[in-house]
Structure 1
Amino acid sequence: MKAMMLAFAAIAVIAVGSNVILGQAGFSSQDRATGPAVRLDN
């Protein structure tokens, strides 16, 4: 049971960490899928 809870915590840390790191690095789908000819309404 202890190993399972540790694995769940590790999954949560990896998921949140990768989301933050990739967001800061400019790898969001909005950044990757748009070009200079695309106008996005914010």
Structure 2
Amino acid sequence: MKVMISAFIAALLIATAAPMVLNQFGWSSAAQTSSESVRLD
């Protein structure tokens, strides 16, 4: 039972920390699909 609870806590921590860590590395889809050369008509 303790192992299952600790696994749930670990999964929640990973799920909450992953977006922040990935945004720091620039691995978001917005960072990869956007560019600085944009046409403004």
TM-score (norm 1): 0.65
Structure 2 unmatched ranges of 5 or more: none
Q: Which has the larger radius of gyration?
A: 2
State the shift of 1:36 in Å: 3.3
Number of positions where the alignment pairs a residue of Structure 1 with one of Structure 2: 39
Structure 1 unmatched ranges of 5 or more: none
Q: CA RMSD in A?
A: 1.8
Runs of 4+ in structure 1 off by over 4 angstroms are none
Name the % identity.
38
